[in-house]
Structure 1
């Protein structure tokens, strides 16, 4: 019996190989590209193209321009270097200036795919770090698109864009207006729109999705008039254009700081000097000050970010949502997105043996409220401690800090963006979500929920590609997240039936405008956090803005 079963399996594999569908060499506007094809299951295959240039090697502090093309067939089987950036210790640089390349995963069955929805991913990293392939451990790349493409029957695209000084330094004027990383993203999306049909994709059904700075970038891309007609749907995970770290309000000041560090003048010759200076030196000069405290939170140190340039972003983000009126939009957060920032500001949060003093909560409240002055800081403190009682436990104090940073840095701006999208929507649908699958980090407190970036491993199906590192429950979460995202990419709707199929989804809650799509009322209340959203958007905003000297 076992021998007969082995024969059947062998015959199936032989037939599957014989019927394997593959694109082979594909024509693009720059020339022919050849990827690789492999089996991912019975009668299921994957064409993968890595390292296709979508623009020429960029000029320093200049917008991207089209690639001149190549002769012959370009071998597209390896990731290219990420864009030049600081290493994780901020002691050196990695990557290259020649970095504008993209990667494509195309699922195939017994015949070559046509008119597939396309999902284009934009990575995060605070506009300072990151790459289209993501973090790598033993050749297992975080942003490998295979699981999404195979399970959702969509084409997945990832790409590099410039970050740090070379991607977001701005002189505040026409010499170096900034937003080069956003222009790179736009160039990649435009390339996909022009070329993806030859890979079996549907150019009029492109969904962009991203996390953290990538989520904010997604929001910027749908708000910019430069992308009109290119994007059908969008998903922002833990980041929108309204986040306090997403826009640099004083780019000239920071550009001058970098110029002084590298020995350039700060007058009219500053930009020309920066363009001549060794790019590694300029990149290192854009280092972030990671010395933070409750009174000087790390979120205020993220200065290299997009600017209102009057071109890609012609106005304040909140005034541009009419440009996304016909784009379906999902945006949401992890329930403890602020934890990673809170631990930099107040390290005792993760130490069960060390109590966090109440004074740290007061200092953080005042620091996060600095744009509206000390009275607003006191109001913030009172809002977050109103239910404490006379002797709050250490757990309550620590969790309050995480909640405050989560709300200020992520949740409240995301809810504001969703309201604006819904208010301006014509045909576009608006969805909100909360992800709260507990963090898998063993050193974190037992009360910990989903930290910043915890959702990425599930969106990219890591519980399937590295099954020994996960429990069956994690595979359920990944299965449903991939299903939601890809169903949305295909139709603009969430698969409502699937929302009710598993208790695992107590860790994932979705809403459509004001309509609750999930039965877990406690999660919905937590997601909306109505009282605190009202506080930040109405009460806090009513305090007079502090005029900086």
Structure 2
């Protein structure tokens, strides 16, 4: 009996081992996909509600933009042999504060793909990260898929070149600019060629972007390079009408950074050849030195490319407002909007810094036109605009610490709110597809913007809506279904999923239908504990002032 018992145990152990090996083998096989470029091994992860999804991280979509490829358009990735491991994030692109996010490298053109099932034809969402064209990443610790992958979609998050490495331009053939934007185009082209391998439908692609990513999404509507690569646009907290977005004098900044590295500025060819020999991380670490005041102005951003007559593709061919008014853009449904407070703490940050406060007080009349991009206007018009800002936001009172709220509203309206609103207004007139506008008014326990004195969350501020779309593990805890913010995660992710599926963002089960705005009938969805359609426009007095000073539509 003892011998029979031992045999029984042995047979039982063998059976368990066989079952386990079959499970491991099946799981291993299940996480391997065959793409046109080669094979990839991914992993199976869990959503915030414990649902399985497939994850493939660190997939190269372009050749490393190093050496002679620095300051050049991306080159499509070449096929590889064997099985490439796709279970970990790539390094992020070089940026001024890279140490805050993780290891950085000039070889950074990688993307992540997350899919609910590999054998479907699911709608695809491609996310373009924020960061003012100089910061952040599409890595999973910043754009975690844990919330969105509750839905039957394919999510793609990407890196693109930043700062001077992504946007330096001399305005001629030696450095045309827009490399970061062309990286995004290359990623969209990669999606068209490869996404079916991950269960995605290449004919149902939505571009979703936040802040600089929002501007990027709009620019793809205007770019001949991006035509036909997507069917919907979600553009959150930024537009394309503001005078700070498109860099009209890029050579000025190319010369400025060249001088920092003792490069000759005798010719654009010399500038570019010299900067190609500077270590990548040193280039991006000079960003703050080039700024005039606090976070202004933006140094490196998209440019209008001249036709050089060499057949090279141009990302942006003319001024965005002009292109929209001439209907020279790709007409697709759009969701766009703002948060209630955006960057409201800007004023407090400035006024709590002795150096910046004194600089602003002593140079307000000359600083404002320069950092807000209207210094090229006639002197009388510059005075009119500056005086209007003083009167409306500061009550014509001297700047003190009590001016924080007014300065915060001024900077929010300048950098984000009027830009987002005026872009939506313009598109509502000239776009043949619906434009949906929103304002996030919900304040949860967590937020990006904090009171610099009390360190308490202010919200709903710039990027706070990302908290309910992506798990940003470096900043916030993962939300649970029992958390008070859980309903907002379900609402926000439903917006994206529904819009990706059918071009209408109304959330699942909502009794409120999200109605599009029109040029003569402005309306927006107010996103709070209760969803409400509102007539008119957010902050009408503030927006009317900006419409008077900077008319767009």
The answer to whether the superposition gives a TM-score over 0.5 is yes
The residue correspondences of 1:471-510 to structure 2 (distance < 5 A) are 472-495=483-506, 498-500=509-511
Quote how far apart the aligned CAs of 1:318 are: 1.1
SS at match of 1:489: helix
Correspondences of 1:13-162 after superposition (within 5 Å):
23-38=30-45, 40=47, 44-58=51-65, 59-87=69-97, 94-108=103-117, 112-133=118-139, 141-150=141-150, 152-162=151-161
Q: Match for residue 279 of structure 1? A: 280
1-side partners of 2:531 and 2:509: how far apart? Answer: 17
Query: CA separation of 1:76/1:497 partners in 2, compared to 1, >3 Å: closer, same or farther?
Result: closer
1:318 is aligned, of 314, 317, 321, to: 321
CA distance in 2, matches of 1:485, 1:436: 18
Match 2:333 to one of 324, 328, 345:
328
Cα distance in structure 2, aligned partners of 1:412 and 1:248: 19
**Displacement, 1:518?**
4.7
Counterpart residue number, 1:9: none
Deviations 1:189-236, CA, capped at 9 Å, x for gaps:
110111101211110111111111111111111211111111101111
Matched, 1:305 2:275: no
2:532, 2:353 → 1: CA distance? Answer: 29
Give the distance between the partners of 1:481 and 1:275, measured in 2 at CA: 43
TM-superposed CA distance for 1:28, in Å, is 1.8
Equivalent-residue separation in structure 2 for 1:211 and 1:204 (angstroms): 23
In structure 1, distance between residues paired with 2:252 and 2:472:
42
Distance 2:263 2:361 in 1: 45
Provide structure 1 residue ranges, at least 5 long, that are not aligned to the other structure. 1-13, 135-140, 543-549
Separation (CA, whole Å) in 1 of partners of 2:50 and 2:272: 56
Tell me the distance in 1 between the aligned counterparts of 2:131 and 2:490.
25
* Separation of aligned partners in 1, 2:531 and 2:49: 41
Residue 186 of structure 1: how far off its partner (Å):
0.6
Instruction: State the superposition RMSD in angstroms.
Output: 3.8
TM, length-normalised to structure 2: 0.79
Give me the whole-angstrom Cα distance separating, in 2, the residues matched to 1:316 and 1:240.
Answer: 13
- CA spacing shift, 1:34–1:434, aligned 2, 3 Å: same
Shift of 1:534: 2.8
Give yes or no for contact 1:240–1:413 (8 Å, CA) kept in 2: yes
Rg larger in structure: 2
User: Could you say if the C-alpha distance between residues 474 and 247 of structure 1 is closer, same or farther in structure 2, counting changes exceeding 3 Å?
Assistant: same
Query: C-alpha distance in 2, partners of 1:72/1:437?
Result: 48
State the 1:316 CA deviation: 0.4
1:67-87 alpha-carbon deviations (Å, 9 max, x no partner) = 122111111111110112223
The reply to whether residue 376 of structure 1 matches residue 375 of structure 2 is: no
Distance 1:93 1:86, change over 3 A: farther
What stretches of structure 2 of length at least 5 have no aligned partner? Answer: 1-19, 307-313
CA shift for structure 1 position 23: 4.7
Counterpart among 406, 414, 421 of residue 408 in structure 1: 414
Distance across 2 between alignment mates of 1:522 and 1:365: 36
Residues 370 and 511 (structure 1), Cα distance of their counterparts in 2 relative to 1, 3 Å cut: farther
- Aligned residue pairs, count: 494
Superposition deviation, residue 113 in structure 1: 4.1
Cα distance, 1:121 vs. partner? 0.5
